[in-house]
């Protein structure tokens, strides 16, 4: 059993793989849904459009496979950036009327960031602090107000505050990390966030 990165045609997979290897772990990238059977931990990366990502997951059989092999048996799952947003119920991205359905692992909606002052820009690119509302194991050794690296135009708004792990003060404030049971999501890029980012990846891979 080894950690696995899902390759569904979206995201910079090699940067995540390299970061995991710097943490001292072996990890494999796979576009084969049957490999979920031998995965000890699963990472769902992603950059780009929510709709394109969900279409790719559906067309390649990942939606059913994740539900049957990962969610059902509570295999640790980490969504990164767009991967975190895909955990939501729906997204308003690029839609005038009907919302796009997500994986619906954590109830909530993905919404567009809206600047609140002239200094704020969308997409939100760069280092920003996270303030913790709770501390699941993957954040156990991370100090409050630690900076992480972000690149995004949308944010995940969970229905319940109990699923919010951290928030970030930008565009009026948004949820920057979530958790529910064995499911975790981070809006920032831990693989691009220096030592603290690597600590989060290490903590995730040490979940039993």
* pLDDT beyond 90 at 94: no
pLDDT band of residue 98 (cuts 50, 70, 90) is confident
**pLDDT score of 7:** 95
Mind listing the pLDDT tens digit for each residue in 49-68?
999 999 999 999 999 999 99
The domain made up of 2-205 has a fold known as: Rossmann fold (3.40.50)
Cα distance from N-terminal residue to C-terminal residue, the chain: 12
Q: Which residues are catalytic?
A: 81, 189, 191
Distance CA 39, CA 4 (A): 6
- Radius of gyration of the chain, Cα coordinates, nearest whole angstrom: 16
């Amino acid at each position: 059993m080894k950690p696995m990165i899902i390759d569904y045609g979206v995201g910079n997979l090699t940067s995540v793989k390299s970061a995991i290897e710097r943490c001292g772990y072996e990890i494999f990238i796979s576009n084969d849904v049957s490999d979920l059977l031998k995965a000890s931990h699963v990472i769902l990366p992603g950059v780009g459009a929510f709709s394109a990502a969900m279409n790719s997951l559906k067309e390649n059989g990942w939606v059913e496979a994740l539900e049957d092999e990962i969610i059902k048996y509570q295999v640790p799952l980490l969504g990164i950036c767009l991967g975190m947003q895909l955990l939501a119920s729906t997204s308003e991205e690029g839609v005038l009327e009907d919302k796009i359905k997500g994986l619906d692992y954590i109830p909530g909606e993905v919404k567009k960031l809206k600047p609140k002052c002239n200094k704020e820009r969308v997409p939100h690119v760069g280092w920003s602090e996270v303030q913790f509302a709770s501390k699941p194991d993957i954040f156990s050794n991370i100090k409050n107000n630690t900076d992480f690296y972000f690149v995004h135009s949308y944010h995940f708004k969970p229905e319940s505050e109990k699923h919010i792990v951290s928030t970030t003060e930008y565009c009026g404030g948004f949820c920057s990390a979530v958790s529910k049971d064995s499911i975790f999501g981070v809006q920032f890029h831990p693989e691009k966030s220096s030592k603290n980012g690597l600590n989060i990846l290490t903590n995730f891979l040490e979940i039993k």
